[in-house]
Structure 1
Amino acid sequence: MKTVQTIKSHGGQVRVIEHDSETLGVPMQFAAYLPPQAEKGPVPCLWYLSGLTCTWANVMEKGEITRAAAGHGFAIVAPDTSPRGEGVPDDEGYDLGQGAGFYLTATQAPWSKHYRMDSYITDELQTLVTDSFPVAEARQGIFGHSMGGHGALTLHLKNPDLYKTCSAFAPISAPSQCPWGEKAFTAYLGSDRARWADYDAAILVGRQPSQAHILIDQGTDDQFLAEQLLHGIFEDAARTAGQAYTLRRQPGYDHSYYFISTFMDDHVRHHRQELFA
């Protein structure tokens, strides 16, 4: 593990880290923000998962996340969205391959050799972060945007003792039933839809609702809302399962980081209230 870059922000530090991933079989980068409060001891930690085509840089540079994290005393970990590099399978479409890992473990060739983003984040990177930085292991939450919102919901529902809190910006809420998810799941997991259920939040919440109160923000002018995001399906499943959640429909906002940055402080505050309840 080596620090590629250190950047001061709101009294703390963004550290860009590179390491050789055993899980993915390639070198990976992620960013960690340590707020000024970390100088005095361990701080709670939020994991932010980005969307299609993004890297750790999008939220750190455009999401106003360091301001919110410093204000509420959180460390932030922002992984990449997929394995990358020479020899890593890719696709000419932006919604499959490098930049589009969908936070799952692929079972189909050629993807299965490297595409194991869920295990990478919850196991390998989790250990690396908690061993290397002053974070409070018992106080961790997860959130994300779009494909990363899908990842946050599914990783939380499958690991509620690790990620005790969860929120999402415009998540892909029912990927088994939208074009983005159908394309990715067919490629990564095969045509048997029964295998897709482990990575579909609308199905998982019906099987295993968590004790957390999930916050979701969605812009009403999001160009992907009707075809790709399908919040109504998740809402119905969460209500039936007894999952506590709040879905806020924000008038006039789109799918961009202008939307995310506007409500970033609300989300970090939500996690703090939940973690310290």
Structure 2
Amino acid sequence: MSDLAITVLLCVAVSIIYAIAALIQARLGHLSVRELTKVPVWWVAQALNVAGAALHVVSLGFGPLSLIQPLGVLTLVIAVPFAAGAAKRRVTGLELSGMACTVVGLAGLTMIIAGSGRSAALTAGQLAVLLAVACGVVVVLGLRGRRAGASTVWEAAAGGLAFAVCSALCQTVVVNFGASGPGFLLWPVTIFTILAIAAFAISATVLTQRSYRDGLGAPLAVTNLVNPVSATLIGIVFLGEELGASPVELTLAVLCGIVAALGVTQLARAREAEPVTV
């Protein structure tokens, strides 16, 4: 089995796990984080998130960040039929259209990005710059979302960025571990990177959980758009990854991205649609 096939299979498995966890978290979105720590099923969701993260880390050893992160949008597609089943209703026409657009757009992006190369690692300098910029942006978005009457999508966007940074840091650890062996884990820069991963993972969990307080659709859509977009930018700016070698490929990538974004937008609005037979 090729590395690409392994990467896609792992990403699908991760998306299913994350979708289940998101549905559990959304059902408890009205509770504060302190209250949630006393709810056993919330810890089940966190265990699923950890399992999904572990598989995600494994996938980073088989493919570039700019390929893996766009596939994360599948979480939104998978969550739609799961949510419909849990509510004992049928999938709506808008949901079907959204899923179709998202899948078509992602399929095109995957084929284009698949040739972007192997996984790469951040240097110490790149790590410092990325963490400084990411911390600033996450804090600004998070504080904006905490204002009275503010939209939950601000915190969803902050959570998506935090997840993307986690992925970039995890890829760095995985790649360097493969190149240097277990001794790499004792290096000061590695310990610092692992601590940064933990900090961003906790921040992302809290921010996304808060974003679900008014419902799942729009926050999950925003998180799953910001995450791959941020990861792709990190891959291009810091890791030397490429989306395409020619203007035609880049144009196709933009068009596929627009189709996927349209699908995500439709899925975010799906609560307004009437149920239809599928």
Q: TM over 0.5, yes or no?
A: no
Q: Higher helix proportion, which one?
A: 2
What is the TM-score when the length of structure 1 is the normalising length? 0.27
What is the TM-score when the length of structure 2 is the normalising length? 0.26
Q: Higher strand proportion, which one?
A: 1
